[in-house]
Structure 1
Amino acid sequence: MTVKTRFAPSPTGYLHVGGARTALYSWLYAKNQGGEFVLRIEDTDVERSTQEAVDAILEGMTWMGLDWDEGPYYQTHRYERYNEAVEQLLADGKAYKCYASKELLDEIRAEQEANKEMARYDANHPKIKAVNDAAKDGDPCVVRFRNPKEGSVIFDDQIRGRIEISNSQLDDLIIRRTDGSPTYNFCVVVDDWDMGITHVIRGEDHINNTPRQINIYEALGASVPTFAHCAMILGDDGAKLSKRHGAVSVMQYRDQGYLPEALMNYLVRLGWGHGDQEIFTPEEMVKFFDLHDISKSASAFNTEKLQWLNNHYIKTLDADYVAKHLEWHFSDQGINKETGPALADVVRLVGERTNTLVELAQQSRYFYEDFSEFDEKAAKKHLRGVAKAPLELALSKIEALSSSDWTTENLHQVIEAVCTELEVGMGKVGMPLRVAATGAGQSPSVDAVMQLIGKERMIQRIKLALDYIAKREANAQ
């Protein structure tokens, strides 16, 4: 048997974190078992489904690297097949037409609640029976599945263990509406049957749907898949994850500067683990993934942990690869990458100090854009009269360097030479140069920063710093 999993989102919104984790688990299990992963768009809720949401789901899946072997299939393209299956159940006596109006059903439900009875549909209720007996062909009706009245539905959930639901708790659900459109629970079953899905991995909010769907699988003569229901994801405050906790959509994490590897690694650990290992390559995830290692308990989303992982991947992934993702943030922040060093060189130098690509872009701006003012606090501390001589001597030595000599090593020697000649410590030279180079008081190693900024820009910026010192001295007189 070829293992086949599926991810089946409804395009009524973006690909959210919970859905992305479900997709990841389904993808990993298929890969682990040498099987296939199917993408299906469950768009039967026509009023709420949008093409924008479909595009966002596909974009999020692609960004995370969750490639699918089949699909995307769209339920709205399969109505003919669903109706064929409905007619099969009608012919077999496993479904029936119901002509009771919504108003009548609401009236009956109110009576049941008033009598403290379980509010549920009952085909044998006298009022419903009377309406159905009096109906004529062509009258508006729904089609209901004839759910078994005896026994129980029992299934072994791969995460939660044995689950048993009595059929007496399940009513005859609608499988085709009055307008002829099929309903969610029915479409899912027919799709899984036709697509050969062997394992259904989804959120715990679907547990109540599972016994109803199992009965429909069996009524159709279809194989019943193996089920695994994942616990929900909570915010760091213990409440259900929502917009108030920050980003919820996968692409929001892209926008906030996270690499797909970091989000994938973080999501796989939100409920699954392999010993004490925290960091996994995609290959390791595939190799070690097992449904039985998924926790039954809800997981809390921790942004600090995600940032830690993101910093790890910024530092350790190939700089050229990280640079491709950084390009988007340069464009988003209006920084022209053509006016400075190669992005990969900036990633190697600045990446270690940043948790997100947004920060990396922000902290790299001075490599690509000139400035006319310095950070007030940094300039006040480091661009004083005492810095004039070190900056002037450094300027003369920098101007003497040829283009071929413009290396980090030679610039480091320039700084050391200035320190030696003026008999001052490294900080008395390095800090004024850092402020001159970047406009601020913090940066990676100043010799490496100067090398990436380039000779002409450094000369211009040191002169700007000397002008600042001159004006400051003039104003003090």
Structure 2
Amino acid sequence: MTTTRFAPSPTGYIHVGNLRTALMNYLIARKAGGTFILRIDDTDPERSKEEYVDAIKQDMEWLGLQWDRIERQSDRLDRYAEAADKLRDMGRFYEAFETPTELDLKRKKQLNMGKPPVYDRAALNLSDAEKEALRAERGNGVWRFKLDHERIEWNDGILGDISIDASSVSDPVLIRGDGQVLYTIASVVDDTEMGVTDVVRGSDHVTNTATQIQIIEALGGTCPRFAHHSLLTGPQGEALSKRLGTLALRDLREQGVQPMALLSLMARLGSSDPVELRSDMAELIDGFDIGRFGAAPTKFDVQDLFPLTAKHLQSLPLTDVAEAVAEAGVPADLAEPFWAMARENITTLADLKGWWALCRDGAEPLIADEDRDFIAEAIALLPEGPFDGDTWGKWTSAVKEATGRKGKGLFMPLRKALTGMERGPEMAALLPLLQVIRAKA
């Protein structure tokens, strides 16, 4: 059975970069009728916060990305300890004591000599007595996985055939000196024991994948299928990493972005298929193909979400937006005609309040000097309310007959006088909703 996972660290809010990873894994699982796991990677006790765990769940639920089960790495520390012991027994795990400053000096020396800045495995030459002395002086060391210096190869679902020389990579640190288990081993143990078959993540994890393949094989596990998606940039190709803090999903939600608009964009962004607004999750699942995505950096512009949001809202019946219409202050008996009028003229649901304010309070008339007599004559011909869908047509016909005006010269001054705007909803739909005709005063 196909099993995928989304494994966020609860150290902050989910942003669009995280969502791309979550959505791809979700769609793969759902398309195959498989299992999607939400795994909270909370092995860092200082940075992990319960409020972020709750926020991750809320954001996923808002988007409709329902997980089949939830796991927490903090509940599985004994499993990682067992894996570490197994690697020690195999001679693939060793303790190293260099300080960050010493490692930095080593890297600089290697670079000056034209060599790759790879850990030199000096710790392997330490005697037991030297290790004891270093522990007494510096505390516990870090634990590194000893890579086999051979080529690590796999067929990537997006990048194609990948081959990395393990000798060009430092032996990865899997456990810190303070005992904290790091992502590299925790993820391997989890993926293996949870039967994860497919892993999609950012291309910045390619080197991690290479080392994890060796760890999986050392522990006797089966490697999942890996795919590494491109990283997002800003609309001008600039690095997006510094702006991700402003692109948290809760911020986009606050700005009125609709879930299906966001999902429709992220399900196609960076692929060879055009971005198309989908009506529901089933369409997204059916149209998803990981093989259609490319390796090139992918431009993301938050402004692209708003036309998609507007188009999505236009497709919704009143029942789907009734709460927002009521919150805008629209009386229940006017909700249906109000939504029919406003839906084509909003970008987000927050815009409803402005349209209801116009209907409720009227607008400051926008009347050119040369139109003042015309508007006065037209308002005098406006019948007494209540108005209906035919009132605008009958009224403008009477005004045309009386004044001789027609076309834009007839309709535009009337719209500006009644709404204070040059464009907007169909006046036949808006006029019956206007509670105050301020141009009449």
What's the TM-score bracket when you normalise by the shorter of the two chains?
A: 0.7 to 0.9
The answer to whether the aligner puts 1:272 opposite 2:258 as a matched pair is no
Deviation at 1:284, TM superposition (A): 2.6
Q: Does 1:89 align with 2:57?
A: no
Cα distance in 1 for partners of 2:292, 2:183 equals 30
Q: Give the SS at the match of 1:208.
A: helix
Correspondences of 1:7-406 after superposition (within 5 Å): 7-71=6-70, 73-102=71-100, 104-106=102-104, 108-109=106-107, 111-113=109-111, 115-124=113-122, 129-130=126-127, 133-135=130-132, 140-142=139-141, 144-241=143-240, 248-274=247-273, 278-281=276-279, 282-303=281-302, 305-324=304-323, 326=324, 335-338=328-331, 341-342=334-335, 345-367=337-359, 369-370=360-361, 374=364, 378-380=366-368, 384-394=372-382, 397-399=383-385, 401=386, 406=387
Change (3 A) 1:294 1:380: same
Structure 2: unaligned runs, 5 residues or longer: none
- CA distance in structure 2 between the partners assigned to 1:286 and 1:118 by the alignment: 43
Counterpart Cα distance in 2 of 1:18 and 1:48: 20
Give the AA of the match of 2:132: A
Structure-2 separation of matches of 1:306 and 1:256: 10
Partner SS for 2:9 = coil
Q: Distance in 1 between matches of 2:288 and 2:106?
A: 49
Please give the alpha-carbon distance, in whole angstroms, between the structure 2 residues aligned to 1:259 and 1:407: 32
Kindly indicate whether the alpha-carbon contact (under 8 Å) linking 2:264 and 2:275 is maintained by their aligned counterparts in 1.
no
Bigger mean CA deviation after superposition, 208-217 or 348-357: 348-357
Instruction: Give SS of 2:161's match.
Output: strand
1:232 offset after TM fit, Å?
A: 1.3
Change (3 A) 1:44 1:380: farther
Compute the TM-score of the two structures, normalised by the length of structure 1.
0.80
Show the counterpart of 1:443: 424
Query: Partner letter of residue 394 of structure 2?
Result: Q
The DSSP-based 3-state class of the residue aligned with 2:10 is coil
Change beyond 3 A, Cα 1:52–1:345 = farther
Determine if the alignment matches structure 1 residue 407 to structure 2 residue 395.
no
Once superposed, what is the RMSD of the aligned Cα atoms?
3.3
Query: TM-score scaled to structure 2, two decimals?
Result: 0.86
SS in 2 for 1:56: helix
Tell me by how many angstroms 1:148 deviates: 3.2
Secondary structure, aligned partner of 1:182: coil
Q: Distance in 2 between matches of 1:242 and 1:305?
A: 19
Q: How big is the shift at 1:136?
A: 7.1
- Cα distance change, pair 340–419 in 1 and its aligned pair in 2 (3 A): farther
- Give me the identity figure in percent: 32
Q: 1:337 to 1:46 in 2, by over 3 A?
A: farther
Deviates further, 238-247 or 49-58? 238-247
Alpha-carbon spacing, 1:434–1:226, altered in 2? closer, same or farther (3 Å): same
Q: Secondary structure at the match of 1:175?
A: strand
Distance in 2, matches of 1:355 and 1:129, equals: 66
User: 1:4 Cα shift?
Assistant: 0.6
Are 1:465 and 2:439 an aligned pair?
A: yes
1:123-179, Cα deviation, whole Å (9 max, x unpaired) = 3468x6257644279853235244233322111101111111122123332222222
Report deviation, 1:291: 1.8
Deviation at 1:271, TM superposition (A): 1.7
In terms of mean alpha carbon deviation, does 178-187 or 304-313 score higher?
A: 304-313
Q: String of CA shifts for 1:369-389, please: whole Å, max 9, x gaps.
A: 425x615xx234587233223
User: 1:433 Cα deviation (Å)?
Assistant: 5.1
Indicate conservation of the 8 Å contact 2:337/2:429, yes or no.
Answer: no
Secondary structure of the residue that 1:379 maps to in structure 2? Answer: coil
Deviation at 1:20, TM superposition (A): 1.0
Aligned counterparts of 2:369 and 2:322: Cα–Cα separation in 1: 34
Q: What number of residue pairs does the alignment pair up?
A: 438
Task: State the distance in 1 between where 2:440 and 2:245 align.
Answer: 44
Residues in 2 aligned to 1:194 and 1:277: alpha-carbon distance in whole angstroms? 37
Q: Sort the Cα spacing of 1:294 and 1:322 in 2 relative to 1 into closer, same or farther, 3 A.
A: farther
State whether residues 94 and 146 of structure 2, in contact with CA within 8 Å, keep that contact through their aligned partners in structure 1: no
The structure-2 alpha-carbon separation of the partners of 1:382 and 1:59, relative to structure 1 and needing over 3 Å to count, comes to farther
CA distance in 1 between partners of 2:309 and 2:329 (Å): 24
Q: Is the contact made by 1:100 and 1:131 (CA closer than 8 Å) also made in structure 2?
A: no
Secondary structure of the residue aligned to 2:343 is helix
SS in 1 for 2:5: strand
1:251-284 C-alpha deviation (Å, 9 max, x unpaired): 322222322111111111212245x673434323
